[in-house]
Amino acid sequence: MAPTTIAAPSSCMLLKTPFSLKRGSKTLSLNNGRRLSKRLFSCNAIYNPQVRIKREGQPETLNYRVFFEDASGKKISPWHDVPLHLGNGVFNFIVEIPKESSAKMEVATVELYTPIKQDTKKGKLRYYPYNINWNYGLLPQTWEDPSFANSEVEGAFGDNDPVDVVEIGDSRGKIGEILKVKPLAALAMIDEGELDWKIVAISLDDPRASLVNDVNDVEKHFPGTLTAIRNWFRDYKIPDGKPANKFGLGNKAASKEYALKVIKETNESWAKLVKRSIPAGDLSLV
């Protein structure tokens, strides 16, 4: 797979001489001879890395993993080391589940370097009962804190995962692909009492991206999509005999402004997590 270039956000200072910043005993080498720490909290970015995908094992097996590597071939974490912000309201989105597929892929938050794998239950691979109709994945450098009760969403606690994204563009993504997206809306799903945000976004490469900038534009240019997303996530567990999921915020999609608020708050929670201001439990911070 060809490497994906991730540019640093405009708020980061780009240094012009070789240097090395250490985080403990670790540094991250880049192919231009410069070195940067694995995480620069001042800008939440790695300067100009070449991110490559390395697949281990066979798809739809228990051993299948999709790892991320930098230009030197060192493993990095898609959750922790891919920057969130790209500037001007644009964010990196990592595809876990391509649209029109049913294998329940997810970042393995408790494994070293947090690769993407297929979720399991009782030792068996998990599948949705029907295909998901949009690209689905995560915002890197976000975390829904399970110790935080959100007073705006029925006091529900975070689900201990990165924030989920539903990307509504026309193209089908690939597992591990990094897309530049802009948020449009937010759905506050409550899954067995846990708050599990769904940020609705669109890839900047989509031909209709310039037409949609907020929740009302989604209804205009993608009519019925927000209702379809809510209903899909409300009902997907019912075939397994579980109750339907609920939604807070009046059962409606919140605005882009609210989605940006969710992203900001969960990015701050992630920063506290990786700085070890909050106990990580079994989560991998590497």
Whole-number pLDDT of residue 24? 33
Is the pLDDT at 28 greater than 90, yes or no? no
Give tens-digit pLDDT for 202-231: 999 999 999 999 999 999 999 999 999 999
Residue with tokens 């975070």: 158
Region 37-65 average pLDDT: 71
Q: What is the pTM of this model?
A: 0.85
Classify domain 89-274 by CATH architecture.
Answer: Alpha-Beta Complex (3.90)
Mean predicted lDDT score pLDDT of the chain: 87
Q: What tokens does 85 get?
A: 């912000």
Q: Are 196 and 164 in contact (CB under 8 A)?
A: yes
Q: Give residue-wise pLDDT tens across range 71-101.
A: 999 999 999 999 999 999 999 999 999 999 9
Q: What is the DSSP letter of 154?
A: T
Q: Is 47 labeled as catalytic in the residue annotation?
A: no
Cα dihedral across residues 223, 174, 129, 252: positive or negative: negative
pLDDT at 32: 35
- What's the pLDDT tens digit per position in 105-161? 999 999 999 999 999 999 999 999 999 999 999 999 999 999 999 999 999 999 999
From 128, 130, 136, 236, active-site residue: 128
Taking CA 183 as the corner, what is the angle to CA 15 and CA 111, rounded to the nearest 5 degrees? 70
Burial of 204 from C-beta contacts in 10 A (0-12 / 13-18 / 19+): middle
Tokens 């993993």, residue located: 65
What percentage of the chain has pLDDT greater than the value 90? Answer: 82
Contacts of 121 (CB under 8 A, 6+ apart): none
Gap between the Cα atoms of 75 and 169, Å rounded: 29
